[in-house]
Structure 1
Amino acid sequence: MIIKKLIPAFVLIPFLMNTVDAQLQSKGYKKKIDSIIQTEFGNKNEPGGVFLITQNGKNLYRKAFGKANLELNVNMTPDNVFQIGSMTKQFTAIAILMLEQGGKLNTNDPVSKYIKDYPNGDKITIHHLLTHTSGIKDFTKIKSLSTIAQKEMKPEEMVNFFKNEPVDFAPGEKFDYNNSGYIVLGYIIELVSGSTYENFIKKNIFDKAGMSHSYYASDRKVIPQRAYGYHKKEQEFVNKTVISFSIPFSSGSLMSTAGDMLKWQQALNQNLLLNSKETQKAFQKYKLNNGEEFTYGYGWHLKDINGVPDLEHGGSVFGFKSMGVYIPSEDIYVIGLSNCDCHSPTEVTKMLAKATLNKIKTSTKKP
């Protein structure tokens, strides 16, 4: 009888040891993640950020740092809404592919098919715009940008602002990151769909993916749980520079939360927005005219962490910075959002992805 009573205890001991070991590993992992983030986001009295790490859709780490609003002394929470800057380009690219899947356009179409008077528009294709290989002038490098920065511009007016600038190179000659190309894409989305870019993204992406805390940016609308943006000037913080969101438009004017950005990644993984063949167009490498391959798809950089392929993109707009990394082979998604352009989540997010990948690789190794 005594032996029978002891058996369950012996059975339980390895189980308890494994559970404790897993907890210790988890605590060690979270401590490492904290230490990586705190190098850049450690001051709780400054503007801060939110970081989310998931695997297979489950949270491994979710935490907020610093202040969402300095004037009101409001702490950041994991649910705060941020401007995501150039991560907007992912949504613009997928919107174009949705229109292609619906038979409304083709990525090989010349720009002139939609904007008749666009200079060299018969040689610049939608593909060139998506891959930053068009050669058209990036509007952020035009000196007169400050004269329109606070004006409400129609998409056509934004295109007219830069379309007659001298080109930097012939279409397809090289890769050079370019905001103007994504403005043109936003305008084409409006022309083809008959809807505003804002409404198209909301109806066809945000609503379908359940992204109820994502918006086309506005300084006038009351946006629940908005994180306010800041700059650092010498030793002080100041409120972000005000610009019209019609300027970055489809190249950088969306807002979201870490949780909604996870829903975005999951919607892509589950082919909720596009079929797998069309989705793959966003995540493949393309070649220049000379046959040289470059590491950008449609709205994503295609890189690797320790030889493991990943998809990544960052964003920067007055007062905010963002960075997202996805590792398809392990279904790891890492998103970092910051409400001061003095604190960049770019390297931090990459380091978090690397640490998470290492943890998973180590824990799955057989003894």
Structure 2
Amino acid sequence: MAEPYDRRNVLCGLAAMAAVCAPARSWAANPLKSVTAPADALDAYIRLRMDREHIPGLSLAIVKDGKPIAIKGYGYADLEWNVPAGVQTVYQIGSMSKQFTSAAILILAQDNKLGLDDIIGKYIDGAPQTWNAITVRHLLTHTSGLPLEGLPATEKTFFADYTKDDLITSAKALSLLSPPGTKYRYGNLDYDLLAIIIEKVSGVSYAEFLQQRIFGPLRMTSTRVNDRRAIIANRAQAYLWDHNSLQKCEPQVSPTRYYGSASLMSTVMDLAKWDASLYTDRILNAASRKAMWTPTTVADGTVTAYGFGWELSSVKGHARLYHTGAMDGFVGNISRFVDDRLTIIVLTNQSGLSNPLRIATGVARLYIPAIRPAIQGGQPARVYVDKTVMASAAGRYEYWRGFMLTLTPGKGVLLGQLPVGEADDYVPVSTTAFWQAEEGIQLTVVKTPAGEVTGLVVRQDDGSERTIPRIGPLFDALKLQPDPDPKRSQRIEAALIAIVQGGKAVADDPGIAPGMKTDSGAGTADFAGMRACTFLAEENVVGRGIERHGAEVSRVLYYRMNMDKLTGNLLVYVTADGLLTDYDIVDN
């Protein structure tokens, strides 16, 4: 629940190959002297990542100065039919669609048909009074205050088709999470409404407008709005990595659910054409491109890392414009290293484990030596430690707010798992420190004088450090406890049922914290079929600085869920007054 997207949207919404050379950890010790990467090094790195992330098929484009210098496919677009992935393989691109929606809005602004600071009620009939201060710019920058989703997300509704009237009717009934312009909160509803505005202003459908003004002029012949019933040439099969196995990702979420936010399909060849256009005035003029890549400042002066449909960042001082998209068994990324005029485009047909942003960054390091990890003080020497050292460091940590790092003992290493991507090896370099080679990250255990592990110091490749709090142990390391407050568990179970229903059920439930109520109004399929929750243990995390949905977490409760067909492990985060403020469903 901590992720800023629906779990199923990433898992099913995100061909064994042997790794043929050493991983990227050798780059820092033996940096390439040329910005031209040898083909065998590129191929080896891609195959290594595909093997570790269990990716069936991957298509890659590397574009320098708007011209492809490497464009190819790896693995399989369809495993059952042994169809290779290639440069014309069509993938769903999820939230990478947002850059095209924002471009369409900017085109209309260039045509003087709308203003970015126009109130959206000018274009959406019957807009509620709560939308009176929301502008087109607020939607573009995710500062509208609207919730993440506009449509309910229950087990019965998640795969349904919707009309635009369904979306608008549902969205109008939702409360704002914050006043417009005061907070950045990434979401899909903002861009779904932008698609409706595009249609209102242009007089043609969203798909037609994109075709007429972007895809057609650029000869992006394989890029289109998805139709799950259509026969689309070169369409890749979607796969899901779940419960340590690869499976077909079916059924498919309807593209009508994410109309302007995540409904497009494309190829790396087409996206390379799009990238080339962004160096010119062919689609967007210089003023529009500058606006699209300018960070947003909210009311209190905070500067966000989001422009219009693009995330804004840097890697070791090299500016990067990027966006990742996850949808229905597909995950992709476009990363534009604009200082270096280098773009990496990665599309994959597996979600649940694949991490194209990491892959794009790794490929970029082959071409830009300056962004490779610099090992602080030289490469640390590996040491061999007792299993009890590994066991004491294992557990869950709050890597970023709402974004967990799970450490599990492996064969002589700690396996570090974030919600996206495969586990990384952290090798012991002392009895309290562990090092990950590819990114140059070191983790050092923080303990109280009594020896209790309360967090980790994370040292990044650039030498910066921050301390992250420990959430608690893994399920297989729990010391089982009697339930100290059975009535609390009853309230939590009732709250979870309300969260499934969403809407009024969430609003009326007294056991849900205010911030969680605000963010859970659309409902979820996470607990559909839940029969009971059995209390296992609790962790006191008072003072560790763990915050979920705007509330400080006081206790983390461990439950075993009994579902219709399986059991699951559930972490519940509660406030000091016992209110549920978040949850996570985990394997261990």
Place the TM-score, normalised by the shorter chain, in its bin.
0.7 to 0.9
C-alpha contact 2:57 2:74 (8 A) present in aligned 1: yes
User: Counterpart in 2 of 1:253?
Assistant: 263
User: Counterpart in 2 of 1:358?
Assistant: 369
Counterpart of 2:250, as a letter, is K
Report the CA distance between 1:26 and its aligned residue. Answer: 7.9
Gaps of 5+ in 1: 1-22, 362-367
User: Counterpart in 2 of 1:110?
Assistant: 119
Counterpart of 2:251, as a letter, is T
C-alpha contact 1:55 1:333 (8 A) present in aligned 2: yes
Match of 1:320 among 320, 330, 333: 330
Counterparts of residues 75-86 of structure 1 (less than 5 Å): 75-86=84-95
C-alpha contact 1:229 1:239 (8 A) present in aligned 2: yes
Distance 2:329 2:246 in 1: 14
Report the CA distance between 1:109 and its aligned residue. Answer: 0.6
C-alpha contact 2:61 2:344 (8 A) present in aligned 1: yes
Please state if 1:168 is matched with 2:216. no
Report the CA distance between 1:145 and its aligned residue. Answer: 4.5
Distance 1:27 1:87 in 2: 27
SS at match of 1:65: strand
Counterparts of residues 1-367 of structure 1 (less than 5 Å): 29-42=38-51, 47-119=56-128, 120-139=130-149, 144-234=153-243, 235-342=245-352, 343-358=354-369
Cα 1:45/1:182, change in 2 over 3 Å: closer
Distance 1:284 1:168 in 2: 24
C-alpha contact 1:86 1:251 (8 A) present in aligned 2: yes
- Bigger proportion of residues as strand: 2
Deviations for 1:252-294, whole angstroms, at most 9, x for unmatched residues?
0101110100111112221111221122110111210011211
TM-score (norm 1): 0.86
SS at match of 2:73: strand
How many residues align? The count is 338
C-alpha contact 2:67 2:276 (8 A) present in aligned 1: no
Cα 1:191/1:145, change in 2 over 3 Å: farther
Counterpart of 1:67, as a letter, is Y
Distance 2:202 2:36 in 1: 50
C-alpha contact 2:296 2:305 (8 A) present in aligned 1: yes
Report the CA distance between 1:43 and its aligned residue. Answer: 7.9
Counterpart of 2:263, as a letter, is S
Distance 1:179 1:281 in 2: 20
Distance 1:353 1:24 in 2: 14
How well do the aligned residues superpose, as a CA RMSD in angstroms? 2.4
Counterpart of 2:114, as a letter, is L
Deviations for 1:306-364, whole angstroms, at most 9, x for unmatched residues?
11111100000011001000122221110000011132212111222233222799xxx
Between stretches 158-167 and 80-89, larger displacement belongs to: 158-167
Gaps of 5+ in 2: 1-31, 373-588
Counterpart of 1:242, as a letter, is Q
Report the CA distance between 1:163 and its aligned residue. Answer: 2.8
Cα 1:143/1:195, change in 2 over 3 Å: closer
TM-score (norm 2): 0.54
Per chain length, whose mean CA-contact separation is higher, i.e. which structure has more relative contact order (CA < 8 Å, sep 6+)?
1
SS at match of 1:98: helix
Instruction: Percent identity, please.
Output: 30
Distance 2:221 2:96 in 1: 17
Counterpart of 2:176, as a letter, is V
SS at match of 1:329: coil
C-alpha contact 1:29 1:359 (8 A) present in aligned 2: no
SS at match of 1:297: coil
C-alpha contact 2:192 2:260 (8 A) present in aligned 1: yes
C-alpha contact 1:46 1:70 (8 A) present in aligned 2: no
Report the CA distance between 1:39 and its aligned residue. Answer: 3.1
Distance 1:315 1:247 in 2: 15
